[in-house]
Amino acid sequence: MVHNDDVNRDSTITLRLPGKLKRRLEARARKMRRSLSAQVVHDLENLMESMPSGGGGQGSFLGLYEGARLPSDAEIEEVRSFLWGSWQRRGENS
């Protein structure tokens, strides 16, 4: 991603960061020849672009089964009985 310094920056955010994180960000900004603010914007843009759906909406795990059929109570009970039965049999064989 190429950060465009001509982008209109009309929003402000104030953060309180752990000192160690701030020093790491400052070192990264120096290495990349950016201001601390520009580096944070750059890193946040990259993070948001790497997230599913551009970072909006549900996370990768929460959206994994979106729209899938939910199991019925009977199906849940069947699996529960199978697992408990398997566990009890395993205990008897020990």
- Cα Dmax for the chain: 71
Residues 6+ apart with CB under 8 A from 47: 55
Domain borders along the chain are: 1-55
Q: What is the pLDDT of residue 43?
A: 92
Q: What is the pLDDT of residue 33?
A: 96
The predicted model scores a pTM of 0.49
Tens-binned pLDDT, residue by residue, of the chain (94 aa): 455 555 677 888 898 989 999 999 999 999 999 999 999 999 999 888 887 664 445 556 666 777 788 888 999 899 988 888 866 666 666 5
Q: What is the pLDDT of residue 48?
A: 85
- Which contacts of 58-67 are long-range, i.e. CB under 8 A and separated by 24 or more positions? none
